[in-house]
Structure 1
Amino acid sequence: MKVLHLPYGAGIASLSEALRVIGVHAESCSFYSTNTYNDLADYKLNLDRLSKVKKEEKLKQFFEYAKTTYDVFHFHFGETFHPMFLDVKELNEKGKKVVVHHRGSEVRRLSIARLNNPDVVVKKEWSEQRMKKRLQTLSKYVKVAIVNDLELVQYVADYYERVEVVPHALNHHKISHSFPNENDVPMIVHAPSHHEIKGTAEIEATIRRLRDEGYELNYQRLEHKTREEVVRELAEATIVIDQLKIGTYANLTMEAMASGKPVICFIHEQYRKSYPNQLPIVQATIDTIYDVLIDLLRRQSEWAQIGQQSRNYVEQFHSYSVVANKLKKIYETL
């Protein structure tokens, strides 16, 4: 079995690497140099650096190579080689196995998300009409979809014959961990990829209020950093605050937990039940972040313990072998 992950995102490289750990031949291809994780991919097409004609030529060339090389095509973010998914139709005709992996913003429709989560914010790049049209077209050719958590199931379940939930994968061996020292002045770290979605304004208002009230603490917002730089900064953190509006967690929370840090994040009660009971994330919303952060700051003696629980959780539920074996079983059923 030879597997190809594409066309961009952290997952194409991490899942390929995870599959190789369990003996599956897997490779990743990144289409765009602007992708933060482009350098991690096995193949880098850098299509954004080419003219339209050269871009089409290079994409066609790689597609010709791929369809004679790989058995399983794992498309992320609902994007394939062709904007109308005609490539997927051809892959089906050639007997290739195809699965689509929806990651979040490309399917998260506000009209649905707000039914259970009134504070949620979604990216505005895509209209709901466009999302639905793409799902309708793609699901004609792909019967099985993968999502990372229960929250995303509701956006895609009506389109595919089967939806599988597979957690994010993280190579925790590459992230050294150190637990917070209760005697240090706390360093609060927040790394927003999108201010409104993450609740950055509410988080920083809380930081200012605590400082005005006399709390001694340091704060750092991580932006425009490489993944390696972010991981280094997480190592120096006492507490990491991720998002306060979406209701689930992803890469930053996992990397912070792997670093051995307590993490504050909003996990919606409807989805929390789908996670293992050992989930050590400290729950907060935009309305409770002030009280939650004060409480955690006052529990210095528990910081290291929560950090240890965080590291253990990632090792147990997000390790490469755990996630890769789930993927392999799905591929075998396609």
Structure 2
Amino acid sequence: MSGLRELGVDAELAVTFPHPFGFPADRVVRGRARLAYGASAPFTHDVLHFQSWSWLPRDLDVQLARALRRTVVINFHGDDCRLYTLTRALFPRQAQVGDGRGDAAVRRRLGRLGRIAHAAIVKDLELATYVYPFFERVFLVASPVQAHLLEQPAPLRDAARPVVLHAPSDPRYKGTRAIERAIESVQKVAQLEFRLISGVTHGRLQEELRAADIVVDQLDAVATGVFALEAMAAGKPVLAEYDPSILPPFQRDVPIVRVSPQTLADRLAELVSDVDRRRELGAAGRRYVERVHGPTRVARAALRVYDGARGAPAGLYEATAEGVAPLEPDLLRLEGFALPAR
């Protein structure tokens, strides 16, 4: 929201419950208030940018918005669109925990929303693979970093015993046990302090991040996570598992040290012993986040999506602050779908 408002857009963020990590919202509406808001929003807003779900049963608010000729886009973030039977076949590193029991419901919801919304927004090519068969237009847009996280990077210390931080939102999905094993291996040959933080407020997490020297974000993943972006915004070197072929073009030069469960200990030991390399990665990460994930730049990309969501030809697109560019559907792994690709 801060990026849109900085560009002069009259925008509000409404949610059905407070964010578990304490992220702010303009409105928190529940129960009857949610129904009332969902029924009125199509009359009072030109663009409805939904996050994963709509407000009303049977997506009546989305249907109403279309009837009123409003622009409607749906933003998906992960398990809200992930089809685990396909994930296991196409992206096995991402499927270490989830199963396909909810796939039928996800398919029905994607099909229903895809028929009435103008476009979908996702952050990477894995998620685009799931939504592209259902939506006429799919836009890849960078995840924004909150503006206050870019105010001043935390200084990197010349610590002989660096602090290594891992802060999983859910340890089951972030490869936490394998990360702990790698840490234990490195501690046998090098001095470091390991901090494992989970289930805390976003403010507390930022305090821990500022005190860290190295961040291990996640394993068992094919794309980069939000916490990795926040760590880079703070000027910290980051290690994480990801698949470069899954990243959209605007993210291909992300300066995250790519690791796997087999290589994490070695790459971490190298950073623990190399202060100059930590500084180099920290500075590169900060520059990258400012250039790609800054809130105003992401807001400009969102405005370009809103402009093209209704009139652009059907297809897959990359949207950045500079413009919208078509992408070849061949970038996606659509061979696993049991329905036609369009």
Change in Cα spacing, 1:116 to 1:300, as seen in structure 2 (3 Å) is farther
- Counterpart of 2:10, as a letter, is H
* Matches of 1:154 and 1:58, distance apart in 2: 35
Partner residue, 2:286: 311
Aligned residues of 1:179 and 1:308 also touching (Cα < 8 A): no
Q: CA deviation at 1:124?
A: 5.2
Partner residue, 2:182: 206
Partner residue, 1:324: 299
Residue in structure 1 matching 2:27, options 43, 47, 56 = 43
Residue in structure 1 matching 2:143, options 168, 186, 194 = 168
Partner residue, 2:49: 74
The 3-state SS of whatever aligns with 2:284 is helix
The 3-state SS of whatever aligns with 2:172 is helix
Gaps of 5+ in 1: 1-15, 48-54
- Counterpart of 1:23, as a letter, is G
1:81-120, aligned counterparts within 5 Å? 81-120=55-94
Aligned residues of 1:27 and 1:42 also touching (Cα < 8 A): yes
Residue in structure 1 matching 2:173, options 194, 197, 209 = 197
* Matches of 2:160 and 2:270, distance apart in 1: 17
Partner residue, 2:229: 254
Q: CA deviation at 1:172?
A: 4.3
- The answer to whether residue 131 in structure 2 is matched with residue 146 in structure 1 is no
Aligned residues of 1:222 and 1:230 also touching (Cα < 8 A): yes
- Counterpart of 1:268, as a letter, is D
Residue in structure 1 matching 2:190, options 212, 215, 219 = 215
* Matches of 2:204 and 2:259, distance apart in 1: 26
- Counterpart of 1:118, as a letter, is P
Change in Cα spacing, 1:326 to 1:39, as seen in structure 2 (3 Å) is closer
Q: CA deviation at 1:21?
A: 1.2
The 3-state SS of whatever aligns with 1:286 is coil
Q: CA deviation at 1:238?
A: 0.8
Count of aligned pairs between the two proteins: 307
Give the number of the structure with larger relative contact order, counting CA–CA contacts within 8 Å between residues 6 or more apart.
2
Q: CA deviation at 1:178?
A: 2.4
- The answer to whether residue 164 in structure 2 is matched with residue 182 in structure 1 is no
* Matches of 1:85 and 1:302, distance apart in 2: 50
Aligned residues of 1:139 and 1:160 also touching (Cα < 8 A): yes
Aligned residues of 1:102 and 1:147 also touching (Cα < 8 A): yes
Aligned residues of 1:257 and 1:311 also touching (Cα < 8 A): yes
C-alpha RMSD over aligned residues: 1.9
Q: Scaled by the length of structure 1, what TM-score is found?
A: 0.86
Q: Could you report, residue by residue, the CA deviation over 1:213-253 in whole angstroms, capped at 9, with x for unpaired residues?
A: 24211011111111111111100111101111121113201
Change in Cα spacing, 1:126 to 1:320, as seen in structure 2 (3 Å) is farther
Partner residue, 1:131: 106
Residue in structure 2 matching 1:269, options 238, 244, 260 = 244
* Matches of 1:42 and 1:31, distance apart in 2: 11
Aligned residues of 1:168 and 1:250 also touching (Cα < 8 A): no
* Matches of 1:39 and 1:321, distance apart in 2: 18
Aligned residues of 1:244 and 1:266 also touching (Cα < 8 A): yes
Aligned residues of 1:187 and 1:219 also touching (Cα < 8 A): yes
- The answer to whether residue 13 in structure 2 is matched with residue 28 in structure 1 is yes
The 3-state SS of whatever aligns with 1:295 is helix
* Matches of 1:134 and 1:277, distance apart in 2: 31
Change in Cα spacing, 1:302 to 1:99, as seen in structure 2 (3 Å) is same
Change in Cα spacing, 1:297 to 1:273, as seen in structure 2 (3 Å) is farther
Partner residue, 2:3: 18
Aligned residues of 2:161 and 2:193 also touching (Cα < 8 A): yes
